[in-house]
Structure 1
Amino acid sequence: MSLLILGLVLFFGVHLVPFTPAKAALRARLGEGPYKGGFALIAAVGLILIIWGFASTRGTLDEADMLYYPPAWARHATMALVLLGFICLGIYLHKGRLRLWLRHPMALAIIFWSVGHLISNGDKPGVIVFGAFLVYALLDIAVETARGTRPDFVPKPRHDIIAPLAGIIMYAAMLFLHPYLFGVPVINM
């Protein structure tokens, strides 16, 4: 579990820097390229440690590690919420009117994904991981809203059709890949 915690500290620690005045100071001191490179490297190491630490807890949990037991309908709710998350991700990746309307599609994608997984994972490592992502996404929306940050681009109307379709395609790919990547089948066949 210590790898998981270390990964979360690194990943979210570096992601919290842009919310602080330290971002401007670091960019000025390091330069744009090294700042972005360092950010990406620390985030990647953190993400790898999160995945590795989370995977290392599978099969080692006992009764004391269960905080709650998911309800019978959890799988269906998770699938619906994650689908909405992937559609939001598709919207984030495209510059359509939907992205302007949602304002925070990436944070919304993380919220749908994390809430869905919190419904289906009642063990300590699951609650820690998915809860951390949920808190970060909510914080991101709050900070960016308080700053008045809004997307600024000329929308491409065709992206409003492409974006949800891209989200659905990514969702379908994840349905197939989930058991191979994470060892947990989404659909029982």
Structure 2
Amino acid sequence: MTGWAEYSLALAMFVASHFLPRLGGLRERLIGAVGRRAYFSAYGALSIALLVWVISAAIRAPHVDLWPQLPWTRWVPNLAMPLVLILVACGIGLRQPFTLGGRRGAAFDPARPGFAAISRHPLFLALALWSGAHLAPNGDLAMVILFASFLAMSLAAIFAFDARARRSRGGKAGAFFARTAILSPAPLINRDWLHANARRTTIRAGIGLVLWVALLHLHTMVIGVSPFPV
């Protein structure tokens, strides 16, 4: 299987893997059968494998230019990626259960929102920024479909998880949304927030920047295309 057929199948399976488990309580039944840790470990491995497949299939798909790659377009992802990796590093284990990577068993305290005051969906926002930024230098049809799909999925997930938070928190939802944000730099100039969160956030942001530098230099070897502007 080659060309558009493989790419279409890979993309369909990747999208289906994120929606089918939620239908008819399938995910809950699987968790009950094998346990939460085993389920999410297997699901994470499957997601990574499908992601690698869909990206490699997009690279192998027939090349159809929608717009040319101009030198300045490579600056778009290069400027966005440091923020993307900082959001990823700060978002893993977020004390906000209604998002990707959030601690499911954690009770959210509006008085101490932590990084959720900056972004309550840092991993979804990182995915949206990553995919949106990579649209600029990738005007090939297969890549446009790939990154546009990721962008749409991440934005849809933000609204879906916010709706779940409103249903789950009921009368407490107002406090939850008042003390969190999709993306806000305001806590970074708030003395109380900085006193409680500056050290932890700085360490995680530093880890994110280290990951960014590493991925920047591994990009050519893994993807086969240099990310540096020319």
Q: Please, what TM-score do these two structures have when normalized by structure 1?
A: 0.80
Structure 1 unpaired stretches of 5+: none
Q: How does 1:103-114 map to 2 (within 5 A)?
A: 103-114=120-131
**Which shows bigger deviation, 108-117 or 66-75?**
66-75
* Equivalent position to 1:98, from 115, 118, 130: 115
Q: Which of the two has higher C-alpha Rg?
A: 2
Contact 2:127–2:154, Cα closer than 8 Å, also in 1: yes
**Which shows bigger deviation, 46-55 or 88-97?**
88-97
Deviation at 1:38, TM superposition (A): 4.7
Deviations 1:138-165 (A, max 9, x none): 1110100111177xxxx86522111211
* Equivalent position to 2:227, from 183, 186, 189: 186
Deviation at 1:86, TM superposition (A): 1.2
Using a 3 Å threshold, how does the CA distance of structure 1 residues 19 and 157 change in structure 2: closer, same or farther?
farther
3-state SS of 1:68 partner: coil
Q: Please, what TM-score do these two structures have when normalized by structure 2?
A: 0.67
1:169 aligns with 2:210: yes
Q: How does 1:13-162 map to 2 (within 5 A)?
A: 13-17=16-20, 19-20=22-23, 21-28=25-32, 31-32=35-36, 35-36=39-40, 38-57=42-61, 61=63, 65-93=64-92, 95=94, 97-148=114-165, 157-162=198-203
State how far apart, in whole Å, the 1-side matches of 2:22 and 2:137 are.
Answer: 31
Structure 2 unpaired stretches of 5+: 96-113, 167-175, 177-195
State how far apart, in whole Å, the 2-side matches of 1:37 and 1:79 are.
Answer: 31
State how far apart, in whole Å, the 2-side matches of 1:188 and 1:69 are.
Answer: 14
Which amino acid in structure 2 is aligned with residue 67 of structure 1? L
Aligned-residue CA RMSD (Å): 2.7
State how far apart, in whole Å, the 2-side matches of 1:94 and 1:101 are.
Answer: 15
Contact 2:124–2:154, Cα closer than 8 Å, also in 1: yes
